[in-house]
Every structure is written in structure tokens, then in C-alpha cells.
Amino acid sequence: MKILLKIMYDGKGFHGFQAQPGLRTVQGELTEKLARLFGAPVMVTGCSRTDSGVHALGFCVTAERQDKKDITLPVSKITHAAPGILPQDITVAAAAVVDDEFHPRYSVVKKKYVYKIWDSHIVPPFMRGHVLEYKKHISDDAILLMKEAAEHFKGTHDFTSFMAQGSKIVDATRTVFETDVYRDSEGCLCFSVSADGFLYNMVRIMTGTLLSVAEGKVSPSDIPRIIENRDRNGAGETVPPQGLYLKEVTYPFPVNWE
């Protein structure tokens, strides 16, 4: 019996998602604490491997007993029971029973990320660790240029230019479905992007490139050439992890969330 959990986490206190000996990770915490909730050793599998400091608003994991036996806690009780067991920086937002064949990573058809930039030198304490502290104001005109540049990411491309050097990916072709650059209700400048998959550091390099556009170093019309060149050095810098949020993952069938 496999349970799919939609979780949120504040990446500040974690060395990323993936379990690593001796380090506090999201997978490590879930594996330990869900065992207590389900009354047996548990195997936890994630939809992605987020880096240290990266946050999640709609991350998906599956959890199953190592002995594959049924989980007796009704799925409808999980979101109510989880806060008493999980640490303060992980929240279970929804739960569902899924088929044993379901894989939270391989089944994904779309992932959406948001990168948040705080573009003022006055950084409210509540934002710390949750945004890129860019410190310089980005004008409305520059935002329009960033939005125009981000449009060029759409479509199916070889995104080698937007992949961390040294990645062992053979085929860097990905399809970007949607992009947007906008200011949210809290005043953060946000870059959102959805695709069928992402290369290592792809969103962070895209964001760095959009900041080069805001700074006038790159023009929106340069983006297609930067993509075509398949050269990491042509794109902007890799911005730090703390502005990045995994917003949503989509599966090819409806999930019966409870």
C-alpha cells in the first residue's frame, strides 16, 4: 500500500531533500517520523532532489511500509495527525492512496518552480533565507524585458547552456510550457517556469540570466542564441538556492487528494 503525500517545507534548516548520513534532510526526517505515524519502518521516495536551502510548496513523496503491509491510519486522518509528529518546517498538505506501480518522480509530467527576488536593500526579517537578496530596485521596464526574455525559454530546446557544468546528463532536451515574471502580493519579484523536467540548476541559471537582462548586459533577443550555442558560459550566473520554490508537480491522472 502506497500513500502519496503533498508536502511543503522551509528549506532553511535542511541539507536538501535527499537523505545523507549525519545531515538533516527532508527525506531523512520523513523516513524517521512517518515510521512513528504508521507504526512500522517506512520507505519514502521523492518527486525530485531539491538542493540545500531550496523550499517546497507542493512537493510530492510516496510513503510505504518496508514490509509492504497496509497502513492502518486512514488516509483522511494523515493531514490532521502529521503536525503532531513532523517537525515545524515540514507540513503535509494532502494525502492520497495510489497504486503500487506509482513512482512520484518517474510519473511526473510537469513541474513548476518559482524563484523569488527581493529587489530592495531593506530586507524584512521574515524574508531572510526565503528570497534572493538582490538589494537593487528592478524597474517596471526591466521587469517587462525579463518577461520578454523568459518567453524565449518556452518550447522544446537543448538546454545545455542552462545546466550546471559537470552534469552527467546525456540528453539536455526539455520542454518548457509556461514562463512568467511578475511582482507578487508580498512585493517579491518572481520568475515562474513549468516544464516536463529540469536540468541541474536550470531554474537558478535561467534566473541569473534574467537578472543579466534586468542589468542591461543581455537583451531579450539574445536568449535564442544563448540556447542554440549550448555553452554554459553564455548564460548568466547561478543564483543562490534560497529564492527557489518547487511549486507544483503534475501527474498524468487525477489524484484523489484527501
Residues that bind a copy of itself (CB under 8 A): 8-10, 55, 57, 79-80, 83, 88-94, 121-126, 128-130, 185-186
Q: For the residues of 176-225, what is the DSSP string, one character each?
A: EEEEEEEE-TTS-EEEEEEES---TTHHHHHHHHHHHHHTTSS-GGGHHH
User: At its nearest, how many Å lie between a copy of itself and the CB of residue 122?
Assistant: 5
Return the C-alpha torsion angle 47, 49, 52, 58, nearest 10.
Answer: -20
The whole-angstrom separation of Cα 15 and Cα 23 is 6
User: At its nearest, how many Å lie between a copy of itself and the CB of residue 124?
Assistant: 5
**Which one, 185 or 233, has the nearer CB to a copy of itself?**
185
**Which one, 36 or 121, has the nearer CB to a copy of itself?**
121
Is 51 a known active-site residue?
yes
Under 8 Å between Cβ of 17 and 50: yes
User: At its nearest, how many Å lie between a copy of itself and the CB of residue 142?
Assistant: 21
**Which one, 14 or 162, has the nearer CB to a copy of itself?**
14
Q: Are strands 173-183 and 189-195 parallel, antiparallel or unpaired?
A: antiparallel
User: At its nearest, how many Å lie between a copy of itself and the CB of residue 164?
Assistant: 27
> What SS3 state is found at 77?
helix
Catalytic residue, candidates 51, 67, 70, 184: 51
User: What are the helix (H) ranges across 98-201?
Assistant: 140-151
Under 8 Å between Cβ of 123 and 243: no
The whole-angstrom separation of Cα 239 and Cα 135 is 14
**Which one, 128 or 137, has the nearer CB to a copy of itself?**
128
The whole-angstrom separation of Cα 146 and Cα 156 is 20
The whole-angstrom separation of Cα 75 and Cα 82 is 11
**Which one, 45 or 91, has the nearer CB to a copy of itself?**
91
User: At its nearest, how many Å lie between a copy of itself and the CB of residue 185?
Assistant: 3
Query: Which cell is 88 given?
Result: 515545524
- Which residues does the annotation mark as catalytic? 51
